[in-house]
Amino acid sequence: MDAIDKRIVEILQRDASLSHADLGERVGASAASCWRRIKALEAAGILTATVRLVDPEQIGLAVNVFCNIRVRNHAQEVRKPFEDFLKGRPEVIECYSMSGEWDYMLRIAVADVADYEKFLMRTLLEHPAVGSASSHFALSTTKYTTALPLS
């Protein structure tokens, strides 16, 4: 990636709705050049999906829960079905396999504590792979970004 590519990526991370002409004005390139560069960045796997971010509070999902999971067994035949299960759960919006004391960290979006309790007690803890869980409720969001630093 050259300097123009980096600038295009920085700008698109903040506003992917810009036209190629507007993007070109901001980076000092033509609209056609921006289009070609974006296509090349997509082909290289640097740029992936184009999405619109949703304000969770506006759709009734104001509670953010970070849940650490310890699995009963680390064998692939246990982990793979558990990970597939998590991928299919809409309330699990992020999932990371972790090093250290816990095996997974989940970010879960729910309407309220009662919704989380139902998910935790009736769904998550009922999965045969789950040994234990520890939940942490976010009180507020100090910083949230999807933009990655390119410097």
On whether both 68 and 128 belong to a single domain, the answer is: yes
Average pLDDT over residues 125-134: 97
**Is 144 a member of any domain?**
no
On whether both 111 and 38 belong to a single domain, the answer is: no
Q: Which residue has the tokens 């390139």?
A: 29
On whether both 25 and 87 belong to a single domain, the answer is: no
pTM comes to 0.87
On whether both 20 and 68 belong to a single domain, the answer is: no
On whether both 65 and 93 belong to a single domain, the answer is: yes
On whether both 72 and 130 belong to a single domain, the answer is: yes
How would residue 91 be classed by pLDDT, with cut points 50, 70 and 90? Answer: very high
pLDDT attached to residue 151 = 77
Q: Across the chain, what does the average pLDDT equal?
A: 96
On whether both 65 and 125 belong to a single domain, the answer is: yes
How would residue 92 be classed by pLDDT, with cut points 50, 70 and 90? Answer: very high
Average pLDDT over residues 111-124: 97
On whether both 101 and 38 belong to a single domain, the answer is: no
- Please report, for residues 2, 82, 88, 100, the alpha-carbon distance to residue 129 in angstroms, rounded to integers and kept in the order given: 46, 6, 15, 18
Which domain range does residue 18 map to? 3-43
**Is 25 a member of any domain?**
yes
pLDDT attached to residue 58 = 97
> Among 17-21, 74-78, 115-119, which stretch is predicted with the lowest mean pLDDT?
74-78
